[in-house]
């Protein structure tokens, strides 16, 4: 039986980038994937345009028990390296926001570039892993498509989101088998289900500030038929589910504004005044009082202002892994080398990408982490 230098579990962004690094080292490699195509999440990312990097990537844009774990890998394979790699493949791209890059044509350009770089590297699709053993110095991987052996293994199976694309928790199972702890898994970068709002607000979008504990998010919020979405809500799910406070007018002291209008626009209604600063339907939802503002007592205005500047939601539920862009939690980084991605519990076992307890912010950070950690694993396996 052939013994490969390295077997990579997963043909996603991190697995393929690991294969790129391994090919440059002339290692024999086999990639095993349970799906029927490579980089399936990459192909649909960024609305099909793939937000492939963000030049602001540093540990402050990552979440997990130890977000500083990303520092070494990001230093070894930087966002500028990703950008130069994209340029080397003549992929047309554009900068949507400062430092945030997308493909101009299609995310498929990124997938094709990865496949071009790994050349004739062997990939076995539609292959489910049954068990992994290491009785001595060789890994033996039992699958429903045969038994394979290697000197090293890179676990790059990704998270558990987008179940319809064919995902597996075999990465977590493998890590646990070799002694690694698994941090609880939950959906992240997804919409939030809540009964705090009326369905007739659906479709309204506005800039807000969201507070979750000590964390502050400034971004656009979108009301949906089941709750809230948009970048602000997506980013809120990066933190453990708990009460969130929304400021619908982050740059305005609403109590001060309403008191001023009480003097200058006394015959106007509060909803009429609010509609100058907020979408009309939202203004009516927050206050349906038809009285002239001059007839409303200051303590009532204070209650209303707090509702606008500090709207608290207690029932916060991320909509689920099937629609989440990424998975929070995963293999604890406690016993993994941040410099090489190698397990400190099992020699020659490596990890890369979302399978670990590292989650990036919205904006290209997750794909950059996949590339950086995959490349480092491929340099060392």
Say yes or no to pLDDT of 269 above 70: yes
The two structure tokens encoding residue 306: 């707090």
Q: Please report the pLDDT score of residue 166 as a whole number.
A: 59
Q: For residues 324 and 162, give the distance between their C-alpha atoms in angstroms, rounded to a whole number.
A: 7
Report the mean per-residue pLDDT for the chain.
94
Q: Which CATH number does the domain housing residue 296 bear?
A: 1.10.8.260
Rounded mean pLDDT, 80-86: 98
* 126 and 62 within one domain: yes
What does the pLDDT look like over 341-357, one tens digit per residue? 999 999 999 999 999 99
- Integer Cα distance of 129 and 126 in angstroms: 10
Say whether both 109 and 218 belong to one domain. no
Residues 212, 257: one domain?
A: yes
Q: pLDDT band for position 165 (50/70/90)?
A: low
Out of 299, 318, 337, pick the residue that ends a domain: 318
Residue 10 pLDDT class (50, 70, 90 cuts): very high
Residue 222 and residue 366 share a domain: no
Task: Reply yes or no on whether the pLDDT at 320 is more than 80.
Answer: no
Helix residue spans in the chain (DSSP H): 13-24, 40-44, 71-76, 79-88, 108-118, 170-177, 230-236, 254-264, 270-274, 280-286, 298-309, 365-380
- Shared-domain flag, residues 23 and 69: yes
Q: Is the pLDDT of residue 262 over 80?
A: yes
Q: Which tokens hold the place of 75?
A: 């230093």
CATH number at residue 119: 3.50.50.60
Q: How confident is the model at residue 321 (pLDDT cuts 50, 70, 90)?
A: confident
Tally of domains within the chain: 2
> What CA–CA distance (Å, rounded) separates 53 from 365?
6
pLDDT at 160: 79
Domain boundary among 318, 342, 368: 318
What pLDDT, on the 0 to 100 scale, is given for residue 162?
A: 63
- Residue 102 belongs to what domain range? 3-187+320-380
> Is the pLDDT at 164 greater than 70, yes or no?
no
Has residue 204 got a pLDDT over 80? yes
pLDDT tens per residue, range 23-59: 999 999 999 999 999 999 899 898 899 999 999 999 9
pLDDT band at 201 (very low <50, low <70, confident <90, very high): very high
Structure confidence at residue 159 (pLDDT): 85
Provide the whole-model pTM. 0.93
Query: Contact, 9 vs 129, CB < 8 A?
Result: yes
Q: Same domain, yes or no, for 27 and 112?
A: yes
């Amino acid at each position: 039986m052939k013994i490969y230098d390295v077997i990579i579990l997963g043909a996603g962004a991190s697995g393929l980038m690991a294969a790129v690094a391994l090919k440059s080292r002339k290692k024999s490699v086999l990639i095993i994937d349970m799906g029927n195509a490579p980089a399936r999440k990459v192909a649909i990312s960024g609305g099909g345009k793939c937000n492939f990097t963000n030049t602001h990537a540093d540990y402050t844009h990552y979440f997990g028990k130890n977000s500083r774990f990303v520092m070494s890998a990001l230093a070894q394979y930087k966002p500028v390296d990703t950008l130069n790699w994209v340029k080397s493949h003549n992929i047309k791209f554009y900068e949507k926001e400062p430092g945030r890059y997308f493909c101009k044509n299609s995310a498929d350009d990124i997938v094709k570039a990865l496949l071009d770089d790994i050349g004739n590297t062997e990939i076995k699709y539609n292959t489910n892993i049954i068990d992994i053993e290491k009785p001595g110095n060789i890994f033996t991987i039992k699958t429903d498509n045969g038994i394979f052996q290697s000197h090293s293994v890179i676990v790059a199976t990704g998270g558990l989101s987008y179940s319809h694309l064919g995902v597996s928790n075999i990465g977590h199972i493998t890590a646990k088998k070799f002694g690694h702890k698994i941090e609880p898994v939950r959906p992240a970068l997804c919409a939030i289900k809540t009964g705090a709002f009326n369905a007739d607000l659906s479709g309204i979008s506005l800039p807000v500030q969201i507070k979750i504990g000590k964390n502050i998010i400034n971004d656009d919020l979108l009301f949906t038929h089941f709750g809230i979405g948009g970048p602000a809500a997506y980013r809120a799910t990066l933190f453990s589910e708990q009460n969130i406070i929304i400021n619908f007018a982050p740059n305005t002291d609403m109590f001060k504004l309403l008191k001023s209008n009480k003097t200058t626009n006394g015959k106007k209604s509060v909803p009429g005044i609010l509609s100058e600063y907020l979408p009309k339907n939202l203004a009516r939802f927050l206050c349906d009082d038809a009285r002239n503002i001059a007839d409303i007592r200051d303590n009532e205005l204070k209650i209303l202002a707090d509702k606008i500047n500090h709207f608290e939601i207690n029932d916060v539920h991320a909509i689920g892994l099937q629609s989440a862009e990424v998975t929070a939690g995963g293999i604890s980084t406690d016993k993994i080398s941040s410099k090489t991605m190698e397990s400190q519990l099992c020699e020659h076992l490596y990890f890369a990408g979302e399978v670990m307890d590292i989650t990036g912010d919205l904006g290209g950070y997750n794909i950059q982490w996949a590339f950086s950690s995959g490349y480092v694993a491929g340099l060392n396996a």
